[in-house]
Structure 1
């Protein structure tokens, strides 16, 4: 990825382009590069910002979805952002939901793709054979419809992550926090425009999760991408970006 990672005031982030703000939030084991195709497509007409979420840097006792939402709030205040369209994948979508509930005045619209917040089936809740690269490869491939998307580099990065005691404890704490922090009772309070872009073959947040989001959120539209798993912006970037573009044009109009 050719984008410049900026380091400022304790924040690490990518900030590309000019215009209305698209704030992209990555998932639990995601990376800034997960959004590379979105940045490439939209940086000519939007200011696209991706903060690195401090999932593995927080004290263990405060590691959770709510703490990440507070971090995002501090980042938004520091950068003096407003009229934001926030996009979240997986845990990033969950963080977006918590943030929108607390600070609706800052957010124009929200895009969720493979978002947690209702139900998820990530890594089966434990790592019974952390030392096994084959186990990790199998679990990473589970994320995608096409297992070839799970590159050796991706598998090795996650294998290293879950074999580090400091990181894996926070990973498990964050996953448990996401399960505890169910958003169903709060979704009806979010009246902003919401676009749900979902892989029809998502096994981590399966299609019924997307349907439930669309039923509970007052102003939501749901779009499916065939032959696609948990990270549509990575696996089917052309289709994802086209759906996103139509939504952005609609809310701009």
Structure 2
């Protein structure tokens, strides 16, 4: 019987939650914005049949610490992820693979640029790394505006509309899933952490940090995986990513939105495992 262990680890002084399952070469999973390691719960058991799976709640999310005083940046997240991989001995095996969803894909691209030769292969799924983010989004974090933003994003109507843009199949928006998302956005701790990341968005942007110009340095094989019907981050960004990532290939999943590991878990696992084993 598969044993999935929930553990906690301290990285750069901050407590992080992660889960571990399986044996073999390490497969690191990094979730997206306003999410947690639970986004991978449908695929962890299947991946754990082949790999040692390590799924982390990134700083500011899930059940990890949510500091607001820290300067969030791509370099800081890359450092935290490298520290995690080193402390869990994920780097000691023959191969080290990683999957990054949405924001997590952007962070893993930064890790690969800043710490080359750490990963053997990388999968980026529906990543937000190639979006243009206008400067005025930072205004949402200002004290005079944030209470209005909190009222908006914590409303059930806003949550439901956001989930509809994320999922291609609306039947997957169960009452329990909807309730969990409403509770998450209503949490003041979660909201303040998200506002801190929004405040520091310039340091979390591939283009503004100069890391996007360095993507051409990457030599590791990269799979760009995308839901063909993603309304949250449209599929056109998969082709933009391919143009900028050497040694990359694109695989589109039909009838699928922003979260293929949730909407199409079996296809997601099959596509990733084939890429990693080739």
* TM-score, structure 1 as length reference: 0.88
Cα 1:99/1:204, change in 2 over 3 Å? same
Cα 1:76/1:2, change in 2 over 3 Å? closer
How far residue 194 of structure 1 moved from its aligned partner, in angstroms, is 0.2
Q: Judge conservation of contact 1:65–1:177 (CA < 8 Å) in 2.
A: no
Q: Distance in 2 between matches of 1:247 and 1:21?
A: 15
Cα 1:68/1:155, change in 2 over 3 Å? farther
How far residue 227 of structure 1 moved from its aligned partner, in angstroms, is 1.1
Cα 1:149/1:64, change in 2 over 3 Å? farther
Q: Distance in 2 between matches of 1:130 and 1:73?
A: 32
- 1:143 matched residue in structure 2: 166
Cα 1:4/1:80, change in 2 over 3 Å? closer
- 2:206 matched residue in structure 1: 182
Q: Distance in 2 between matches of 1:135 and 1:176?
A: 21
Structure of larger gyration radius = 2
Residue 204 of structure 1 aligns to a residue whose secondary structure is coil
1:195-253 Cα deviation digits (max 9, x unpaired): 11100111222111110111111100100001111111111111111111210111xxx
- 1:239 matched residue in structure 2: 267
1:158-209 Cα deviation digits (max 9, x unpaired): 3223233332132133246456512532221111100111001112221111
Q: Which 4+ stretches in 1 moved above 4 angstroms?
A: 124-128, 175-180
Alignment RMSD (CA, Å):
2.4
- 1:4 matched residue in structure 2: 5
Q: Distance in 2 between matches of 1:142 and 1:246?
A: 29
Q: Does 1:107 align with 2:116?
A: no
The partner residue of 2:27 within 12, 22, 25 is 22
* TM-score, structure 2 as length reference: 0.81
Cα 1:120/1:41, change in 2 over 3 Å? farther
- 2:68 matched residue in structure 1: 59
Q: Distance in 1 between matches of 2:112 and 2:200?
A: 18
Residue 59 of structure 1 aligns to a residue whose secondary structure is coil
Aligned residues: 248
- 1:163 matched residue in structure 2: 186
Cα 1:198/1:58, change in 2 over 3 Å? same
How far residue 94 of structure 1 moved from its aligned partner, in angstroms, is 1.1
